[in-house]
Chain A
Amino acid sequence: MKRYLKLYVYFLRFSFSKAMEFRVDFTFKIVMDILYYTVNILFFKVLFLHTPLLAGWTEEQMMIFVSSYILVDAISMTVLSSNLWWLPFHINRGDLDYHLIRPVSPLFFLSLREFSASSFMNLLIAIGIFAYSLLSYSQDISAWNVLLLILLLINGTLIYYCCQMLMILPVFWTQSTKGFMDLFYSMGIAMERPDKIFKGWLRIVFTIFLPFALIASFPVRLFIEAFHWPTFFHLTAVSVSLWIIMLYFWRRGLRTYSSASS
């Protein structure tokens, strides 16, 4: 464990020293993400021009939800995205070879190696938006509640990671994962909507099999509404099983990789 932390410190160091080289890129990325945040906030602001409540939430509650999924997005953009973006290419080109011969978990290495220093600013901005939405909330909130929300959102990031991995892993068998990756990005919209809109089988899909609704919506619901044990258990159970399933497919994928590569 300590060894992995130490390795991660090296990843951070390398990433920052590398990022200093591409400063223009830096600025573009910041502007892009600010635009993404603005468009998401605007979307709900415009809707609230026409309705007082959305999925049972008021505008300020909805802003907590929006800032929550923005936060999840920012964390995964900073910590994971550049790794996961390249992962299918690495697998497809057979670049995993060198990772497989090292006495260190290839999954750790491939998922966390590139810390996106250029997204780091955006993470700060997202944290700012998140804090602002909490501070401007008109009802009383306890520190415990805030802590729980933050923990659940970090868990949400893990769910997001697992979902993305599950869309990437088919590349071991199909050789191209562009379709699945695009599918993943379009499914991102399910994370950006309150879970209450999903009914019937669609609800089962988005809360159990592709649990995008658990990334931000469930945590925010536990935060805004009274704490609800069944919801919490649902969230925990799905998170844990998703993680196990992802690891299972990762191992199966590696096995396929090693029997197919030449």
Chain B
Amino acid sequence: MKWWKHVAALELRKILAYRSDFWVTFLGQILIQILVARAFWQMIYDSQGVTTMKGYTLEMMNLNYLIIPIGTRILTGENIGFLAREVYDGTFTRYLLYPLSVFQYKTITYLTYSMFYVFQLILIYCLFRTFISSSPFMLADVGNLISGVLFFFVAAAVYGMMAILIEMISLWADNIWSLAVMLRFFVSFFGGGFIPLTFLPAWAQETLLWTPFPYLISLPVRTIMGLSNFAEVSKGVLILFIWILFFWGVVKMMLKKGSIDIRVLEYETLPKTLCLFPAFFVL
């Protein structure tokens, strides 16, 4: 068996380690979010007396908010503050001992989590289609689901690059946890995770088209819902690839800068500095 299969299996076992955790995460959280979103939009549609708002019927809105929490997890994996946290609690050294690059290792764990959430999405999709005849998932067909999930994986690559950039700031700052949370906020809000992007003023929507954000959440979700066409998707993927290249460049630049700073770093921050070396191997 290849090493990455072992890593993936290990991560899966971690997900399954505590059963209360598992069930609560697997079902509870999604349930709360969808219920609150449903109630909220129901009230807005009712009080307005309309059936469609900005291209969304209430039913589509519900589907949107059902996919978003799972989609966001596919996007973000389980990586918040990973380097910084492991450096802090001293578990980071083990990656320096393993005969493989830390970024490869981390990518595998990231993807394991993403795959797990894809599984969750599929399961919920099947459950809804089988048992709830009026389910919002009736709007989505299998082809859309597959292309949407694939889209999410491309988006995850971009998100991963952004997350790594933030991790690197831990060279200079003690706690980048708040930065990582900030990134999530940005991505959620400008990616359409809080409110569909069509609700934003026209100028804002147009500006966002040049940023990676709409392609991280909004467009993949719309793809699953069957609301996007081929041209939109291919343009989205293209723009995402440009952003990948851009972030790659920035990461490289930061590594150079980081190596200069290593000399001025005090002894206490040395372990943190070490986490850069595996990065040199990859890039």
Contact = CB atoms under 8 A, between A and B. Distances in A.
A binds B: yes
A186 B29 CA distance: 6
B182 A50 contact: no
Chain B interface mostly: helix
Contacts of A245: none
A22 B36 CA distance: 38
Interface residues of A, number: 41
How many B residues are at the interface, by size bracket?
35 or more
A196 to B, nearest CB: 7
Given A180-B20, A197-B43, A202-B35, A25 B182 contact: no
Interface stretch (A4-12, A187-195, A253-261): A187-195
A187 B182 contact: no
A56 B44 CA distance: 10
B201 interface: yes
Interface of A is mostly: helix
B23 interface: yes
Interface string A18-60: 0000101100110110011001001100110111011110000
A25 B180 CA distance: 12
Contacts of B20: 170, 174, 176, 179-180
Nearest to A53: B47
Contacts of B36: 189-190, 193, 197
Given A179-B21, A187-B32, A197-B39, 8 more contacts: A35-B186, A42-B189, A46-B195, A46-B199, A51-B47, A178-B25, A183-B32, A197-B43
A182 B25 contact: yes
Contacts of B18: 174-176, 178-179
A28 B22 contact: no
Nearest to A173: B20
A198 interface: yes
A25 B173 contact: yes
Contacts of A197: 36, 39-40, 42-43
A190 B38 CA distance: 12
Contacts of B174: 22, 24-25
Given A43-B195, A174-B18, A198-B39, A179 B24 contact: yes
Contacts of A180: 20-21, 24
A35 B182 contact: yes
